[in-house]
């Protein structure tokens, strides 16, 4: 595989990564959050039942926790998208999905 082909494939993976939206729902189902891979908030839905209680701190905590789970989902999706460009032993917890695929492919290309 030559450098141009690798770059084309990496650009395609990068475009796919930019479209990723991680999603999560709170344990009670009253909060739904979607985030991009970088953690940017893409969507927030609050079930009207949430207004039955007047606990703003609990609501804030639920939103933050749910957003965190949505980010984990986005990170997992990103890892799956770039896995073909990583070493076989790559792990989600230690992979920078934006940078590691290019480094891995560059290393493989230079090592050939």
What is the tens place of the pLDDT at every residue in 59-102?
999 999 999 999 999 999 999 988 888 888 889 998 888 778 87
- Which fold does the domain 3-111 belong to in CATH? Ybab; Chain: A; (3.30.1310)
Q: Between 87 and 36, where is the model more confident?
A: 36
Q: Between 44 and 103, where is the model more confident?
A: 44
Classified as helix, coil or strand, 45 is strand
The residue extents of the domains of the chain are 3-111
Is residue 112 predicted with pLDDT exceeding 70?
no
Report how many helices (DSSP H) and strands (DSSP E) the chain contains, helices first. Answer: 3, 3
| Residue 73 and residue 24 in contact, taking contact as beta carbons nearer than 8 Å | yes
Neighbours of 74 (CB within 10 A): 25
């Amino acid at each position: 595989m030559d450098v141009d082909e690798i770059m084309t494939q990496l650009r395609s993976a990068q475009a796919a990564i930019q479209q990723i939206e991680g999603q999560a729902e709170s344990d009670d189902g009253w909060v739904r959050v979607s985030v991009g891979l970088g953690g940017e908030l893409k969507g927030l839905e609050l079930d009207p039942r949430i207004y039955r209680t007047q606990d703003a701190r609990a609501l804030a905590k639920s939103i933050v926790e749910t957003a965190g789970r949505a980010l984990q989902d986005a990170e997992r999706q990103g890892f799956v998208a770039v896995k073909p460009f990583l070493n076989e032993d790559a792990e989600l917890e230690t992979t920078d999905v934006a940078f590691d695929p290019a480094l891995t492919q560059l290393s493989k290309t230079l090592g050939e």
